[in-house]
Chains A and B, each alone.
Chain A
């Protein structure tokens, strides 16, 4: 079956793999920062806003350019969420709940106007039946923004570390922390929108959070967590994608299912390693002598 897929649609296949690779990389890098800053739920809230945005795109009959519509909407929602949380106008989790349930309700009502209601809702929630169905416009937007996300992430890597590890210290040394918060919000919004096509609105936050969580179980340095997260994300994408072809299922659930499995394995490895370390009685870390006496 896989062979025939390759023969018939090599182009479509490459397209899905390129998009999947880029989206997986963006989601995994961003995920580390979001999880560490306790912003995991922001990704989840934004994905529901994404669902609402897709409904608007469908009703407007711009199905082929759905991203051009949903990107600005989700980004606006991200800024509003960040602003509400930073200024303490509203509790962060409450703001997310309000925004996400509201968006789902409005989105579902809007989808009633579409000719193909249930199919459209299903695709938005669980990802397109085949990633091969990405339109040209959506694909180029995905490639463009994910390359931009990756570049920004690499260029600002050391600053993102500072701001994530210690906001007040960064502020005191003259870093414009609110600019980075907003950048983080924008990058999350972008990643949610492009990830949603792949795994659907319900599961896109899994794409962001799982690799980071798995990586943190096994790696203990920031850089190694980043690298592990990226590698795990790619492995899970390829495994999940080919699994979906094999069992003829949607790629979204298959990819996330592989993520769950990898997370369990990483948790087990982390647990075993901790046991070994405790048995050594933490003797590796010795109190260093004070050199300045």
Chain B
């Protein structure tokens, strides 16, 4: 059974229908890029996957024992976080909140998970640094480490490279590919089609309904893929 199955999902946002008839399934270990223009419903689809909003119609089925609160989420940064006083470690540790039950404080298991993820992403040396004083790329790694603390199976990323410079962006995608090769399923929402095609294994091109569903290689050779890739290249 697939890790995630979207069964003719329809979505509305603020009373308007923003997407309809979205059906596709994500197998464990795949790296999906959900692309499309602003207002194409891709962010709304992601919110439904995370359980932040309900589906207007259809449903999203989770397989392989994945529970709704076991998805690691990397949201876009909010204004509040820009000047939030928190250390890297405090932010990463907060990723364990979904699975540690009603325990009021962090135990050894939580600390070890946080430590392992910070080590993997190379931010262990700055664990005690203040989050607000880091560069954009480092902040993104911290939030990725937090997302990894929340899940073992599935990451959901919302425009993860917005505001990062090209070098840091390339670095971040390399990191995502490495994590993906270790067996982590990734679903990423992005408006950067070119980068998505380069890094993802599968593409869903959304424009209120799916224009394309398939592998990245197929997308590159499809009429729609060629059209959009040419447009973004110019």
| A residues in contact (CB < 8 Å) with B | 36-38, 154-159, 161-162, 164-166, 168-175, 216, 219-225, 284-285, 287-293
Contacts and interface: CB of A to CB of B under 8 A. Distances in A.
B69 interface: yes
A173 B97 CA distance: 7
B121 A287 contact: no
A123 B142 CA distance: 50
Interface size class of B (residues with CB under 8 A): 35 or more
A290 B51 CA distance: 32
Nearest to A277: B133
Nearest to A288: B122
Contact of A290 (B71, B119, B175): B175
B16 to A, nearest CB: 16
B86 A165 contact: yes
11 contacts: A154-B104, A161-B90, A166-B78, A166-B94, A169-B75, A172-B52, A222-B86, A285-B129, A288-B125, A288-B126, A292-B121
Contacts of A225: 85
A159 B97 contact: yes
Contact of B106 (A158, A169, A171): A158
B78 A291 contact: no
B211 interface: no
Contacts of B156: 172
Contacts of B171: 290
A168 to B, nearest CB: 5
A225 B87 CA distance: 11
Contacts of B105: 157-158
B52 A165 contact: no
Contacts of B125: 288
Interface of B: 50-52, 68-69, 71, 73, 75, 78, 80-81, 84-87, 90-91, 93-95, 97-98, 104-106, 119-123, 125-126, 128-130, 132-135, 137-138, 146-147, 150, 156, 171, 174-175, 178-179
Contacts of A171: 50-52
Nearest to B97: A162
A291 to B, nearest CB: 4
A220 B132 contact: yes
Contacts of A168: 50, 52, 73, 75
Q: Which of A172, A175, A289 has the most CB of B within 10 A?
A: A172
Contact of A169 (B68, B93, B146, B174): B146
Contacts of A291: 119-122
Given A165-B84, A172-B69, A220-B133, 7 more contacts: A166-B78, A168-B75, A172-B73, A219-B85, A220-B132, A222-B85, A293-B174
A262 to B, nearest CB: 17
A107 to B, nearest CB: 33
Closest 9 A-B residue pairs measured CB to CB? A174-B69, A173-B98, A220-B130, A288-B122, A221-B87, A172-B50, A172-B73, A292-B178, A291-B122
